[in-house]
Structure 1
Amino acid sequence: MKKTAMTISYELWGKLYLNITNKCPCACTFCLRQNDDGAYGSDPLWLEHQPTLEEVLANLKTRDLSSYEEIIFCGYGEPTSELDILLETAKYIRSVCDTPIRLNTNGLANLIHGRKTEPDFKGLIDTVSISLNASESEAYMAITRPKWKDKDCFAELLSFAKDMKQYVPNVVLTVVDVIGEEEIAKSQKVADSVGVKLRVRPLES
Structure 2
Amino acid sequence: MKLVVVSAGLSVPSSTRLLADRLTTAVQGRTPVDVEVIELRELAVEIAQNLTNGFPGRRLAAALEAVTEADGLIAVTPVFSASYSGLFKSFFDVLDRDALAGKPVLIAATGGTARHSLVLDHALRPLFSYLKAVVVPTGVYAASEDWGAEGLPERIERAAGELAALMRGLSGTTRPAKADDEVKVVPFAEQLAALRPTA
Q: Same fold (TM over 0.5)?
A: no
TM-score range, shorter-chain basis?
A: 0.3 to 0.5
- Tell which structure's C-alpha radius of gyration is larger: 2
Q: TM-score w.r.t. structure 1 length?
A: 0.38
Relative to its length, the structure with more helix (as a share) is: 2
Q: TM-score w.r.t. structure 2 length?
A: 0.39
